[in-house]
Chain A
Amino acid sequence: MAAPVLRWSCPARRWILANIDRGPRHGRGSPTGSRSSGKRGQSSVAQQPLATAQKPRKGEHQWAAVVGLEIHAQISSNSKLFSGSQVHFAAPPNSLVSFFDASLPGTLPVLNRRCVEAAVMTGLALNCHINKKSLFDRKHYFYADLPAGYQITQQRLPIAVKGSLAYSVFVGKNRNQVINKTVRIKQIQLEQDSGKSLHDDLRSQTLIDLNRAGVGLLEVVLEPDMSCGEEAATAVRELQLILQALGTSQANMADYEIQRQIEELENGGEILNETRSFDCKLGCTVPMRDKEGKQDYRFIPEPNLPPLLLYDSASLPAGADPQQVINIDQLREQLPELPRVTREKLVQQYGMLPEHSFTLLNEVGLLEFFQNVMKETRAEPKRVTSWVLNTFLGFLKQQNLAVSESPVTPSALAELLNLLDQKTISSAAAKKVFEELWRSGGKTPAQIVSEKRLELMQDQEALEELCQATMEKHPQVVMDLKKGNPRAINKLIGLVRKATLNRADPTVIKEMLERQLSS
């Protein structure tokens, strides 16, 4: 698989469930009570405070689930976190490995500035406190894809802490009621990715590709503020959009894993505390190495890296070489527009419903498509929104295509919507044209309309005559109509339409017939 995979590491997936009394849960503040402490550096899962009205009897508890997550996102950078080798995907195995990546003795880590900037920007976008001093540590374990026998990470003092991620879930019958939620970010840390192991069971061997070894990762730790798989999935989706908007990570995820977990959770199953990875051949996730158990990582400060010092405009030393320092305030000013703001603008500018703004952003490339159509059409935003989100997106999903693979260009759709807007064609005709556009890319809507003779009749007199003629031909129907049969009018409309070869708007026909009848 060419795209980078957002690897899951979610040690808190074990459901540590809390006692609650029956009845509505009280508002969630910060969780009190004991924290089950996991290993150093990994998020732990909190217990909900007890709210008792009566003493619960054994076996009569209701359980509330809590989910915390650790997410690893590969940083978009030209070179690795501590070495100069390139970061590319789908390169030949072991072709992007420097001496340092292969852990040759005597090589030393040199911190990549771009990775630090990515971490700071992500921290700022997530409302974190950026630690002006952060430290690097070694986390030791033996594994074939970890050449040095340790990973350089930030366990003691990470680069950013105590942030928040806002996300929205849609509930209700039509899933159009928005509930805004927040999950706290415990910390963001910089660390190295490991290489890749490919297990060849046939020959009982494992092949190691170190291209990925040493690539920079952002580990984002979310506190256990989410209460179900769906919330977790939504929160992660929002994080993904933020990272993509920042450009700090491509964050292409294996959606499979989210789906799998949601299904399992909704089926009441238990998720093992493990790390899973996506196996593209099998098409599902498989367990990776067992990270639980008696693992003592023997953390030690990384002696080859001095503390990472960041500055803001106030603390920047005079005469400092801009190449050597990072100014947090400067990065803050350069932050691009975040998804939440983009969506708000869409709602305000186009009057669209909030849930539509979410859909537009959730689909890769869809927002750009929408905006390109808007540029070239006079049609109402509501109509464009409807066509893009219903018709266009519907066709994409049906054929499992990405926006970038669409046979219909924004220009083509814009032209079509213009024809509709000018009442050159009817809605029904427009749908037909769209189908044809999809099927045979290359023709313009105008061409298709004329080929299929889908133009609406513009000649009102001719239409009047047709109505008249039809009524004369079908006196029985007219009689039924006069008797008060509600279905008769539709039959008449249908007959007229047929006579016009479907080139007349039913509403217009109805209007005409009614007028003629009453006169």
Chain B
Amino acid sequence: MLGRTLREVSVALKQGQITPTELCQECLSLIKKTKFLNAYITVSEEVALKQAEESEERYKKGYVPPYNATVVQKLLDQGALLMGKTNLDEFAMGALGSDTGGSTRNPAALCGVVGLKPTYGLVSRHGLIPLVNSMDVPGILTRCVDDAATVLGVLAGHDCKDSTTVQDPVKSFILPSLTDVSKLCIGIPKEYLVPELSSEVQSLWSKAAKLFESEGAKVIEVSLPHTSYSIVCYHVLCTSEVASNMARFDGLEYGHRCDINVSTEAMYAATRREGFNDVVRGRILSGNFFLLKENYENYFIKAQKVRRLIANDFVNVFNSGVDVLLTPTTLSEAVPYVEFIKEDNRTRSAQGDIFTQAVNMAGLPAVSVPMALSNQGLPIGLQFIGRAFCDQQLLTVAKWFEKQVQFPIIQLQEIMGDCSSVFENDLASVSLKQ
């Protein structure tokens, strides 16, 4: 059951082939068996079982339950390795993350799953802890593109609680199975061919381009001239908004509070020093620097202007007849932890987000689709970028691509019995906790 698509599972539930509780138990069991992967920070077993129970009741009553948007409690961006708290609705469908600079797509690429960042304004951010309000979007992680489309169809739409969601009504959609790509125009941004790109990823990127071409699509090189400024621009805007958004964490209304009682200010300072780690503190300090009166014009305003230029790059490319852009998602396969910790977070972010964060600045939809395994057996994915609010078209192309490449999706429950010991040995020496 766990290897089926969302739609298949949904049908099975409706037909009574499996009950919500049974399905929930299966998921929980798999989570327990793969505990050494540390994919889950928290497993809300009781809540899940209770929701399954409620779901069963509803099935008995015979009406279609509405989607209950669950609030994402926390998302930790660990860089190359995804460490996420996945949130399951009562059908155990899909998983939600958030994508500000690539933090849904990057892990998706490295883990061999589909990671979708919808157009900004399409999906409500209410309940999403903000990092950068003007770039954050709830991200969707699924096993296949169809599932991503299903989840998006359910999540998208105006939310009166989020003033940045668009008013136009959004219909849920079923992705057509594209057979003819001859009318498609695929753009390959030349600035994305950077020296740091691993040869494996580069070759897969080429292969993908050729694939489209061989099936009749028009594949052309395009230019996004301001790409080289996007990391710095992102850094200024991101830290500025982070500094603002973190101002609320003072320990007064909720969360950690230290014991200092001398004065309010002393309490604030100590609470915030204790509660925030180095990365966050660094961002807050940077952001506040950029927002100082004497710096605002030169940093924040300037970065906003550059952001406009970057967004316009995409507009110009799409206006010239390109339907979808094809780029790598990450520079390489997942970097081993030991290698990873050699660079500081800022460098890692700068490297890791290079292909993904311009998309956030432009508010466009983008999806990472797994393509192949590396020589080391680790997943590599490629990214498709679409026009604003053309998420359906984007996913249609992605679905075609997915079908073409036939990525070997991991079937955990099948191999569990055989290879669990292998997994345990390999990973025993690596601590995935920070």
| A positions within 8 Å CB-CB of B | 40, 102-111, 138, 140, 142-144, 147-150, 204, 206, 208, 296, 298-300, 303-306, 324
Contacts of A108 in B (CB 8 A): 125-126, 161-164
| 9 extra A-B contacts, CB within 8 A, seeds A103-B248, A298-B293, A304-B133 | A102-B253, A103-B253, A105-B249, A142-B265, A144-B250, A144-B252, A208-B252, A300-B241, A304-B162
Are B126 and A306 touching (Cβ within 8 A)? no
CB pair A109–B163 under 8 Å, yes or no, is yes
The SS class assigned to the B binding surface is loop
B383, CB-defined interface residue at 8 Å: no
Q: Are A299 and B296 in contact (CB under 8 A)?
A: yes
Given known A-B contacts A149-B247, A150-B247, A110 and B163 have beta carbons under 8 A apart: yes
By the criterion CB–CB under 8 Å, are A298 and B292 in contact?
yes
What are 20 A-B contacts defined by CB distance under 8 Å? A102-B253, A104-B254, A105-B129, A106-B127, A106-B129, A107-B126, A108-B164, A138-B244, A142-B247, A142-B265, A206-B264, A298-B292, A298-B293, A299-B296, A300-B300, A304-B133, A304-B162, A304-B163, A304-B164, A306-B164
CB distance from B268 to the nearest CB of A (A): 6
Please, which residues of chain B bring their CB within 8 A of the CB of A324? 167
A62 to B261, CA, bound (A): 51
Question: Distance (Å) between the CB of A298 and the closest chain B CB?
Answer: 4
Given the complex of chains A and B, what is the CA–CA distance between A102 and B249 in angstroms? 11
Contact B163 A106, beta carbon cutoff 8 Å: no
Residues on the A chain within 8 Å of B240, using CB: 300
Residues on the A chain within 8 Å of B174, using CB: none
B260 to chain A, nearest CB (A): 13
Instruction: Enumerate the 8 nearest inter-chain pairs by beta-carbon distance, A residue then B residue, closest first.
Output: A149-B247, A303-B133, A298-B291, A103-B248, A303-B134, A105-B129, A106-B127, A148-B248
Q: Is the CB of B264 within 8 A of A144?
A: yes
Contact of A111 among B163, B243, B261, B288 (CB under 8 A): B163
Residues of chain B within 8 A of A140, CB atoms compared: 244, 247, 291
For B293, what are the chain A residues with a Cβ–Cβ distance below 8 Å? 40, 296, 298
Residue of B with least CB distance to A104 = B254
In Å, the complex CA distance between A102 and B252 comes to 10
Chain B 268-294: CB-based contact to A (< 8 A → 1; otherwise 0): 100000000000000000001001110
- Knowing A107-B126, A298-B291, A300-B244 touch, does A149 contact B300 (C-beta < 8 A)? no
Q: Closest CB-CB distance, A213 to chain B, in whole Å?
A: 10
B291 touches A306 (CB 8 A): no
B72 to chain A: closest residue by CB: A106
Q: Which residues of A contact B268 (CB under 8 A)?
A: 142
Q: How far is the CB of B5 from chain A (nearest CB, A)?
A: 30
Which of A106, A143, A306 touches B130 (beta carbons < 8 Å)?
A106
Q: Which residues of A contact B71 (CB under 8 A)?
A: 106
**Interface size band for B:** 35 or more
Residues of B close to A142: CB separation below 8 A? 247, 250, 265, 268
Query: Is the contact region of chain A dominated by helix, strand, or loop, or is it mixed?
Result: loop
Provide the residues of chain A in CB contact with B244, threshold 8 Å.
138, 140, 149-150, 298, 300
Query: 8 Å CB contacts to A: which residues of B345-360?
Result: none
> In angstroms, how far is the closest chain A Cβ from the Cβ of B236?
12
User: Chain A nearest CB: distance from B298 CB in Å?
Assistant: 14
Residues of B within 8 A of A206 (CB): 264
Query: In the complex, A360 Cα to B167 Cα: how many Å?
Result: 50
**Complex Cα distance A142/B162, Å?**
25
In the assembled complex, which residues on chain A have CB atoms less than 8 Å from the CB atom of B265? 142
* Min CB gap A196→B, angstroms: 14
Residue B160 at the chain A interface, CB threshold 8 Å:
yes
Complex CA–CA separation, A201 to B23 (angstroms): 59
Cβ–Cβ < 8 Å partners of B296 in chain A: 298-299
Contacts of B250 in A (CB 8 A): 142, 144, 147, 149
Shortest Cβ gap from B176 to chain A (Å)? 32
Do residues A147 and B128 form an inter-chain contact, with CB atoms below 8 A?
Answer: no
How far, in whole Å, are A172 and B291 apart by their CA atoms in the complex? 54
**Considering only CB atoms, which chain A residue lies closest to B264 in the complex?**
A144
Contact indicator A149/B163 (Cβ below 8 Å): no
In contact, B164 and A106 (Cβ under 8 angstroms)? no
A107 surroundings in chain B (CB, below 8 A): 126-127
B254 pairs with A102, CB closer than 8 A = yes
Among B127, B163, B164, B293, the most chain A Cβ lie within 10 Å of the Cβ of B163
Which residue of A is nearest B289, CB measured?
A: A298
- Complex CA gap A151/B126 in Å reads 19
**A108-B163, A142-B247, A142-B265 known; A300-B126 Cβ under 8 A:** no
- Asked whether B241 lies within 8 Å of A106 as measured between CB atoms, the reply is no
B297 to A: closest C-beta gap in Å: 12
Q: How far is the CA of A206 from the CA of B161 in the complex (A)?
A: 32
Considering the chains assembled together, what is the distance between the CA atoms of A147 and B247 in angstroms?
Answer: 9
Across the interface, do A296 and B241 meet the contact criterion of CB distance under 8 Å? Answer: no
Task: Verify B161–A110 contact, CB threshold 8 A.
Answer: yes
- Please give me the residue from chain A that is nearest to B135 by CB atom: A303
- Residues of chain B from 299 to 344 with CB closer than 8 A to chain A in the complex: 300
B72 to chain A, nearest CB (A): 8
State the CA gap A110–B162 with chains docked (Å). 7
| Cβ distance B138 to chain A, nearest Cβ, rounded Å | 11
Contact A300 B163 (CB under 8 A): no
Q: Which residues of B contact A138 (CB under 8 A)?
A: 244
Give the residue name and chain of the A residue nearest to B127 (CB).
Answer: A106
- Write the nearest CB–CB distance from A134 to chain B, whole angstroms: 14
A300 to B291 Cα, complex, angstroms: 7
Q: Which residue of B lies closest to A324 (CB)?
A: B167
Contact with A along B231-271 (1 / 0, CB 8 A): 00000000011011111111011100000010011001000
| A residues less than 8 Å from B161 (CB atoms) | 108, 110
Q: Cβ of A204: which chain B residues have Cβ within 8 Å of it?
A: 261
Given known A149-B248, A298-B291, contact A305–B163 (CB-CB < 8 A): yes
Chain A nearest CB from B253 CB (Å) reads 5
Q: How far is the CA of A348 from the CA of B162 in the complex (A)?
A: 53
Tell me the nearest residue of chain A to B292, going by C-beta. A296
Chain B residues, CB < 8 A from A300 = 240-241, 244, 291, 300
A298–B245 CA distance with the chains assembled, in angstroms: 13
Chain B residues whose C-beta falls within 8 Å of the C-beta of A104 in the assembled complex: 253-254
For A303, what are the chain B residues with a Cβ–Cβ distance below 8 Å? 132-134, 164, 241
CA separation between A306 and B268, bound complex, in Å?
31
Q: Please name all residues of chain A whose beta carbon is closer than 8 Å to the beta carbon of B125 when the two chains form the complex.
A: 106, 108
Chain B residue nearest to A205 in the complex (CB)? B261
Closest to B252 in A: A144
Q: Which residues of chain B are within 8 angstroms of A149 by Cβ–Cβ distance?
A: 244, 246-248, 250
> When chains A and B are docked, how far (Å) is the Cα of A324 from the Cα of B160?
12
B295 CB to closest chain A CB, in angstroms? 10
How many angstroms from the CA of A519 to the CA of B264 in the assembled complex?
A: 94
- What chain A residues lie within 8 Å of B127 (beta carbons)? 106-107
Q: A296 to B243: give the CA distance in the assembly, Å.
A: 14
Task: List the B side residues contacting A296 at CB < 8 Å.
Answer: 292-293
Closest to A143 in B: B264
B151-175 vs A, CB cutoff 8 Å, 1 = contact: the mask equals 0000000001111100100000000
Task: Contacts A106-B128, A300-B240 given; indicate if A148 touches B162 (C-beta within 8 A).
Answer: no
Docked pose: A143 CA to B268 CA in angstroms: 9
Chain B proximity of A124: nearest CB distance (Å): 25
- Residues from chain A with a CB closer than 8 A to the CB of B128 are 106
Whether B163 pairs with A148 at a CB distance below 8 angstroms is no
CB closest residue in chain B, given A101: B253
Alpha-carbon distance A299/B293, docked complex (angstroms)? 8
Q: Looking at the complex, which one of A109, A147, A298, A304 makes contact with B288 (CB distance below 8 Å)?
A: A298
A254 to B: closest C-beta gap in Å: 26
In the complex formed, the residue of B with least CB distance to A197 is B264
Residue of B nearest to A150 (CB): B247
Name the A residues within 8 Å of B164 (CB-CB): 108, 303-306
B113-131 residues at the A interface, CB under 8 angstroms: 125-130
Residues in B whose Cβ lies below 8 Å from that of A298: 243-244, 288, 291-293, 296
Complex CA–CA separation, A149 to B127 (angstroms): 19
What is the bound-complex CA distance between A149 and B291, given in angstroms? Answer: 15
Q: Is the CB of A147 within 8 A of B253?
A: yes
Alpha-carbon gap, A493 to B268, bound state (A): 83
- The distance from the CB of A93 to the nearest CB of chain B, in whole angstroms, is 14
